[in-house]
Amino acid sequence: MSPLSAARAALRVYAMGAVVILAQLLRRCLGGFAEPAFPQQAGRVAVVTGGTEGIGYATCKRLARLGMHVVIAGNDRAKAEAAVRRIQEETLNDKVEFLYCDLASLESVRGFAHEFKEKKIPLHVLVNNAGVMMVPQRKTVDGFEEHFGLNYLGHFLLTNLLLDTLQESGCPGRSARVVTVSSATHYVGELDLGNLQSRGCYSPHGAYAGSKLALVLFTYHLQRLLAAQGSPVTANAADPGVVNTGLYKHVFWGTRLVKKLFGRWLFKTPDEGAWTSVYTAVTPELEGLGGRYLYNEKETTSLAVTYDRDLQQELWARSCVMTGIRDVTPDILAEGRLPRRETAALSPPLTGV
């Protein structure tokens, strides 16, 4: 990416953010955000990545209050254990626990999946929530650009490794659900399949927006595969809006100043930001429905390119190579039947495309 392109990416991201916060301000002036009514979820199990703070913490707390057994997947043990205690105390639900998972490490993701399966419990909801935002250029343990590697690739592998458990846990009329948290920045994101690692002139804004775009493409292709199998699992994307969390330490100083001075009016609270994720995870209105993009608890249209099936499939294929799992797309789409359950790594993960 050239310096001019990097500057353009930053302007596009901040412009999109301004559009969203102005829309949120207007809504506050017209009555604010009303919390949806959610049905109880006793007996169901959820995994939430990044559940120790911000939107993820609010999502865990709300799901626990609905009676779910919640497993927080995170990479900060002390913070996670404190979060578990607070949620248990506030919700009076003792079925809240923590399992270590560093999404920036494919080995750690595999370890989490193995440890979860060793519990021999079902999985009804997977919320792919964790992420980093506009961080300086750096790489994951496996050598991937961090936005792409953590925000997208870690969740891609995690979902694939837990998919058999989700399929076993869902049933007709009560599907299991994959909820992937994207962002309005995907509307200004670009994805260069020849440069998924953001080589050249690095733009943290472009890399972040691109990772959120990749998550939507992933969601739609996953749903296509699930539907072709007649699977009792659905996949949808959730957009929380612009939320007052701790993710803004790397953004433009002016944005941090606006957040500090006017955040209570312009930004959603973490609880408000979590409502769309929770809605997507539990509402009966989405039973059996996937391939949707949800914003403010309503279906909306994502960026036009996200509906490009060729792009979805090519990104999926390259992601399989990078994470070392078998691409079952040809089997499923060509024959319309269940593939062999081969989601474990078949070869060492590669580190570039």
What percentage of the chain has pLDDT greater than the value 70?
90
pLDDT value for 261: 66
> Please, which pLDDT band fits residue 339 given cuts at 50, 70 and 90?
very low
Summarised one tens digit per residue, pLDDT across range 157-184 is 999 999 999 999 999 999 999 999 999 9
Question: Looking at the domain assignment, is residue 35 inside a domain?
Answer: no
Contacts of 154 by beta carbon, 8 Å cutoff, 6+ apart: 103, 104, 105, 106, 109, 130, 140
Question: Looking at the domain assignment, is residue 351 inside a domain?
Answer: no
Residue 263: which CATH number? Answer: 3.40.50.720
pLDDT, mean of residues 302-308: 98
Question: Looking at the domain assignment, is residue 105 inside a domain?
Answer: yes
Q: Structural domain of residue 249, as residue ranges?
A: 3-29+40-327
pLDDT value for 254: 66
Summarised one tens digit per residue, pLDDT across range 219-272 is 999 999 999 999 999 999 999 999 987 766 767 656 667 666 666 768 899 999
pLDDT value for 341: 40
Question: Looking at the domain assignment, is residue 212 inside a domain?
Answer: yes
> What's the predicted TM-score (pTM) here?
0.91
Contacts of 271 by beta carbon, 8 Å cutoff, 6+ apart: 35, 58, 62
pLDDT value for 8: 86
Instruction: Domain count for the chain, please give it.
Output: 1
Question: Looking at the domain assignment, is residue 339 inside a domain?
Answer: no
Summarised one tens digit per residue, pLDDT across range 16-46 is 988 999 998 999 899 888 889 999 999 999 9
Rounded Cα gap, residues 100 and 76, in angstroms: 8
Question: Looking at the domain assignment, is residue 51 inside a domain?
Answer: yes
Q: Which residue(s) pair with 74 in the sheet? A: 100
Question: Looking at the domain assignment, is residue 341 inside a domain?
Answer: no
Summarised one tens digit per residue, pLDDT across range 183-226 is 999 999 999 898 888 777 789 999 999 999 999 999 999 999 99
Question: Looking at the domain assignment, is residue 314 inside a domain?
Answer: yes
Q: Which residue(s) pair with 233 in the sheet? A: 176
Summarised one tens digit per residue, pLDDT across range 70-118 is 999 999 999 999 999 999 999 999 999 999 999 999 999 999 999 999 9
Active site residues: 208
